[in-house]
Amino acid sequence: MDHSVTLLRLCRGRLYVLVFFPLLLVAGSGPLAAQARPAHAAEGRESCPDEQRLDKGERGLDIKGLMRQHRIPGISIAVIHDFRLVCVKGYGVTAKDGSTPVTPTTLFLAGSISKPVAAVGALYLVQQGKLNLEDDVNSQLKSWKVPDSEHTRRSKVTLGLLLSHTGGFTGGDFFPGYGVDKPLPSLRQILDGVPPATNAPIRVGFEPGTQWRYSGDGYLVIQQLVTDVSGQRFPEFMRAAVFQKLGMNALSAQGKANHVLTQTIAREMITPHWKDGVVNILGTKQDPDQMGLGFFVGTRKGRFGHIGGNVGYQATMVMFSDTGDGVVVMTNSDVGLAAGNVLLDRIAEVYGWDYVAPPPP
């Protein structure tokens, strides 16, 4: 589940950077923002204040054997408990047949976990009054417009619909990416499906607001909307509006309380906005997935999260906003979650989350 060259670059970061996003979002969505305290770690070293409990979880779980069985070179995890980052550690190596060990600062591709990150940036502009969740996006798109069609006659594409995958776009479940020796297309070229882009044109395929269809294409439109309204290149905007405000950078395990979104808007992100037809990515039989604004969400314990996948990488993020618990798992394999979810389930068991991850899609 990958959708944009720019978003991929933006989220090609270390585990620390990714984990503080859900940690600080949860803290900012309630009265416990001051409790969002990270574990301290020197760059590249594991930090596991809760090591005894994690060791209990790993006991009897042959994680190295699972990784060998599925040919997964490396896994990196971060565990959050009671609004605190209590363990970050790595398993295995950074590349197939390599010898460099995975550490908390090892680079992974986050894939579609970048979608809720992008959603925070868009909602920041909503908070500033520069965007509105209910307005036709074409009223503020400048350098590209959503083409009119029979599907947009009665209902228009809005930011709120795009964020919840109900905006009418049908493509972009997975982009294969581009070879290192190939030219990279611009966002406009991707939107119009012209070379060197390899995708079909980004177009509305059903009436907006009438059904749920997971769509990376819709998030490309969000990227263009944010770029046009902010007047900045997307990476620069996200860096200034989101990451810097949270004290997040690729070399630090430090973060600050959420000063990007208000508690009201942060809560709106992880509130269910659409139920029918949502694919069960992280949900359980008792608590199936619904769609928030950028996140897959549940109703038990305020669950929210996302998964991501690019060629050679898989990742997952599950959080419980009511208790301040959660985990981020990043892997450098197309089937990394085959072992990663086993580890996630054991962590959930040890911490008493009453949660079992569904099989990866």
Q: What is the pLDDT of residues 43-59, one digit of tens each?
A: 455 678 788 888 877 88
The tokens for 266 are 């942060």
Q: Which of 152, 295, 173, 167 is nearest to 222 (CA)?
A: 167
**CA 196 to centroid of chain Cα atoms:** 26
Asked whether residue 359 is domain-assigned, the answer is no
Asked whether residue 143 is domain-assigned, the answer is yes
Asked whether residue 101 is domain-assigned, the answer is yes
Asked whether residue 229 is domain-assigned, the answer is yes
Q: 236: domain range?
A: 5-351
Asked whether residue 361 is domain-assigned, the answer is no
Q: Distances from the Cα of 265 to the Cαs of 30, 145, 261, 358, in angstroms?
A: 11, 27, 6, 28
Q: What is the pLDDT of residues 109-122, one digit of tens each?
A: 899 999 999 999 99
Q: How many CA atoms lie within 13 A of 91 on its CB side?
A: 22
Q: Which of 337, 350, 333, 358 is nearest to 109 (CA)?
A: 333
Q: Which is more confidently placed, 22 or 245?
A: 245
Asked whether residue 113 is domain-assigned, the answer is yes
**pTM for the predicted model, two decimal places:** 0.89
Q: What is the pLDDT of residues 16-75, one digit of tens each?
A: 445 445 544 554 454 333 344 444 444 455 678 788 888 877 887 888 999 999 999 999
φ, ψ of residue 163 in degrees (nearest 5): -65, -30
Q: Which of 75, 162, 151 is nearest to 122 (CA)?
A: 162
Asked whether residue 356 is domain-assigned, the answer is no
pLDDT surpassing 50 at residue 96: yes
φ, ψ of residue 89 in degrees (nearest 5): -160, 165
CATH number at residue 199: 3.40.710.10
The percentage of the chain sitting over the pLDDT mark of 70, rounded to a whole number, equals 84
Asked whether residue 357 is domain-assigned, the answer is no
Domain count, the chain: 1
